[in-house]
Amino acid sequence: MRVTAQEVVTYLTEPAGDLESRIDRIIAGTPEAEVRGIGVAFIASHDVVLEAIRLGVNLLVTHEGAFYSHQEEQGFAPEDPVHAAKRKLIESDDMIIYRFHDHPHSYRPDIITAGLIEALGWEEEEHRDLGTASVVRLPQSRRLSDIAEHVKQKLNLPYLRAVGDPETVCGQIGVAVGYRGGGQHAIPLFEQERLDLMIIGEGPEWETLEYVRDAAAQGRAKALLMLGHAASEEPGMKLISERLAGRFPGLPVHFIPTGSMIEIL
Amino acid sequence: MRVTAQEVVTYLTEPAGDLESRIDRIIAGTPEAEVRGIGVAFIASHDVVLEAIRLGVNLLVTHEGAFYSHQEEQGFAPEDPVHAAKRKLIESDDMIIYRFHDHPHSYRPDIITAGLIEALGWEEEEHRDLGTASVVRLPQSRRLSDIAEHVKQKLNLPYLRAVGDPETVCGQIGVAVGYRGGGQHAIPLFEQERLDLMIIGEGPEWETLEYVRDAAAQGRAKALLMLGHAASEEPGMKLISERLAGRFPGLPVHFIPTGSMIEIL
């Protein structure tokens, strides 16, 4: 049975209701094109596009875009050879790329956050969806260093960035994916939700991080774990790929990992 | 001889000319107060304020502020106990805090960038000030891994965050301190300045980082080193402390290190 890119987009966007988004759109290719297979990834990196081509899929559904800018239309430097070579690669293979960012964050609960909580093995623990974050209550409080080991193992990460004493005992945990680690969003949650720990994607270094450092310097048991933007949102996209496979059983659906974005030297 | 906080501020702001800044101001204390000693730091963290008290100084000159927000007036959560305890500490000791951010970046050359280049031992190499960044030409190209070792040793850092192949050979290096690692600023510089490597403070993870990852995936020799916001701007504040010591020989002037902001677990 013939499936168009538009049918896949319609399936993906429906749970978010009548959301208007200027971010979520087909950034390469056309909605009428027939889909031969679907690749799902955190970001449309050069390597992800190459892997999609290798897998023979022609629709890429990615949370972040292809050209290094959130409002991406032209990116920051469309004449740049890196940008131009990537556009050429995408066009040469008639790859359709659908940017799927605001809609998944508007599912209730946010499916990107839900995917992370599931990947952490915490979906059976007491947790509450706040819209832009979730609060998880561990049945038993644990040391930050133990929680960090758990997170690394569950998400298969070589390291985590951390603020706070590794011995801090944490039970009430805020989870804020992507760029939601900024101070305006994250700092008030510590007090409002009586958090011991926040697990974030990323955020400016001297907002939430400095708040937590100061809290620790004042003898308060507070801590922060930074997964990185990709690691925090990738599990949600994996969940999306599983739903797509269930809805379109006639199509090959592949989740394509992004790989490590930042190495430690 | 009596020195007021205002006299120190006047000395610090003069080289920036007629700059109007709503960021740079006395955020605690009064300009008329007599200065007993000066502490200079990257940020007015709780530990830095405690150290200033211990050292007996009553004027803190810091690049970033005290309350976790760039436009800081109230911070994001002034009722928060961490915020409140810090304000109480500052007020209990009549500490004067002068936020010195826009002015040093408006020195020509930017003294925060110049401080980093000097700390890296590159002030004798060929380099050019672009205003918001500098370009350093190494006399001999070196592998990324060797440059990373050099940077860690010179700045006394336990690790660096990196993007790109450690074997990448780099000779033309862009240096962009603080939050100037974002895509809008940093991405066009790679092509305009024929950069092999950028050394940045911080920036959103999927702008410049993804550009460099894609460039590397396309076989271009490009790389990125992230020092962290504090490590990139602290040497500039150390240079400021040396100038203050020269200008006010009757006053104790102490540079106060911030310590590590982010641990790797």
Per CB-CB distance under 8 Å, the chain A contacts of B262 are 161-163, 205, 209, 226
Predicted confidence at residue A265, as pLDDT, reads 96
As beta bridge partners, residue A59 has: A38, A96
Q: What is the C-alpha to C-alpha distance for residues A228 and A238, in angstroms, rounded to an integer? A: 17
Cross-chain residue pair B184–A76, CB shorter than 8 Å: yes
Query: Encoding tokens for residue B181?
Result: 């690692």
- Window from A210-219, B21-30, B72-81 with minimum mean pLDDT: B72-81
**Residue A202 touches chain B, beta carbons under 8 Å:** yes
DSSP state of B156: T
ipTM of the complex: 0.96
pLDDT of residue A38 exceeding 80: yes
Per CB-CB distance under 8 Å, the chain B contacts of A161 are 262-265
Predicted confidence at residue A73, as pLDDT, reads 65
Query: Encoding tokens for residue B185?
Result: 């600023």
pLDDT of residue A60 exceeding 90: yes
Cross-chain residue pair B68–A208, CB shorter than 8 Å: yes
Residues near B230 by beta carbon (within 8 Å), at least 6 away in sequence = A205, A206, B42, B43, B258, B261
pLDDT of residue B39 exceeding 90: yes
Mutation for testing the A interface, residue in B47, B67, B68 having most A CBs under 10 Å? B68
Looking from the CA of A156 toward its CB, the CA atoms found within 13 Å total 8
| A77-95 mean pLDDT | 92
Give CA separation, B101 vs A218, B77, B202, in Å.
26, 22, 16
Q: How confident is the model at residue A1 (pLDDT cuts 50, 70, 90)?
A: confident
What is the longest distance spanned by two Cα atoms in chain A?
Answer: 63
Per CB-CB distance under 8 Å, the chain B contacts of A47 are 213, 217
Q: B234 exposed, middle or buried (CB, 10 Å; 0-12, 13-18, 19+)?
A: buried
Predicted confidence at residue B71, as pLDDT, reads 76
Predicted confidence at residue B193, as pLDDT, reads 97
Query: Encoding tokens for residue B30?
Result: 């009064």
End-to-end CA distance of chain A: 50
Cross-chain residue pair A82–B229, CB shorter than 8 Å: no
Q: How confident is the model at residue B1 (pLDDT cuts 50, 70, 90)?
A: confident
What single-letter amino acid sits at A182? Answer: G
Residues 143-172, chain A, touching B (beta carbon < 8 A)? 145, 148, 152, 159-163, 166
pLDDT of residue B74 exceeding 90: no
List, for residues A187-225, the tens digit of each pLDDT value: 999 999 999 999 999 999 999 999 999 999 999 999 999
- Window from A127-141, A150-164, B76-90 with minimum mean pLDDT: B76-90
Cross-chain residue pair B163–A50, CB shorter than 8 Å: no
Comparing C-alpha atoms, which of B2, B66, B76, B70 is closest to residue B29? Answer: B66
Predicted confidence at residue B120, as pLDDT, reads 98
Cross-chain residue pair A160–B265, CB shorter than 8 Å: yes
Q: How confident is the model at residue B73 (pLDDT cuts 50, 70, 90)?
A: low
Assess contact for B94 and B125: CB atoms under 8 A: no
- Window from A10-14, A71-75, B69-73, B250-254 with minimum mean pLDDT: A71-75
The H or E element spanning position B53 is: helix B46-55
| A147-170 mean pLDDT | 98
**Residue B140 touches chain A, beta carbons under 8 Å:** no
- Helix-helix angle B229-247:B5-13, to 10 degrees: 110
- Helix-helix angle A5-13:A229-247, to 10 degrees: 110
Distance from CA of B197 to the nearest CA of A (A): 15
The H or E element spanning position B177 is: none
- Window from A5-14, A190-199, B72-81, B172-181 with minimum mean pLDDT: B72-81
Cross-chain residue pair B207–A148, CB shorter than 8 Å: no
Identity of the residue in B69, B159, B210 whose CB atom sits nearest the CB atom of A265? B159
Percentage, residues of chain B above pLDDT 90: 94
Looking from the CA of A210 toward its CB, the CA atoms found within 13 Å total 29
Predicted confidence at residue B117, as pLDDT, reads 98
Residues 208-237, chain A, touching B (beta carbon < 8 A)? 208-211, 213-215, 217-218, 220, 222, 225-226, 228-230
Q: What is the C-alpha to C-alpha distance for residues B19 and B21, in angstroms, rounded to an integer? A: 6
Residues near A243 by beta carbon (within 8 Å), at least 6 away in sequence = none
Assess contact for B159 and B168: CB atoms under 8 A: no
Residue of chain A whose Cα is closest to the Cα of B42: A206
Query: Encoding tokens for residue A246?
Result: 């269930």
Cross-chain residue pair B188–A77, CB shorter than 8 Å: yes
Rounded to the nearest integer, the mean pLDDT of chain B is 96
Give the dihedral sign, CA A191/A196/A199/A202. positive
Predicted confidence at residue A86, as pLDDT, reads 95
- Supply the pTM of this predicted model: 0.96
**Residue B43 touches chain A, beta carbons under 8 Å:** yes
Rounded to the nearest integer, the mean pLDDT of chain A is 96
Predicted confidence at residue B217, as pLDDT, reads 97
Per CB-CB distance under 8 Å, the chain B contacts of A80 are 187-188, 190-191, 211
Percentage, residues of chain B above pLDDT 70: 99
Comparing C-alpha atoms, which of B154, B51, B35 is closest to residue B98? Answer: B35
Give CA separation, A167 vs A112, A141, B103, B203, in Å.
29, 12, 40, 29
Assess contact for B265 and A162: CB atoms under 8 A: yes
Residues 235-254, chain B, touching A (beta carbon < 8 A)? none
Mark residue B224 as left, alpha or beta (left: phi above 0; alpha: psi -120 to 50; beta: remaining). Answer: beta
Cross-chain residue pair A211–B68, CB shorter than 8 Å: yes
Predicted confidence at residue A77, as pLDDT, reads 79
Distance from CA of B214 to the nearest CA of A (A): 5
Higher per-residue pLDDT: B1 or A119: A119
Predicted confidence at residue B75, as pLDDT, reads 74
Distance from CA of A179 to the nearest CA of B (A): 8
Residue of chain A whose Cα is closest to the Cα of B212: A82
Q: What is the dihedral of CA B134, B69, B258, A214, to 10 degrees?
A: -160
Q: How confident is the model at residue B78 (pLDDT cuts 50, 70, 90)?
A: confident
Per CB-CB distance under 8 Å, the chain B contacts of A166 are 263, 265
DSSP state of B5: H
Residue of chain B whose Cα is closest to the Cα of A72: B207
Predicted confidence at residue A79, as pLDDT, reads 86
Q: How confident is the model at residue A13 (pLDDT cuts 50, 70, 90)?
A: very high
pLDDT of residue B48 exceeding 70: yes
All structural domains of chain A = 5-105 (3.40.1390.30), 111-230 (3.40.1390.30)
List, for residues B192-234, the tens digit of each pLDDT value: 999 999 999 999 999 999 999 999 999 999 999 999 999 999 9
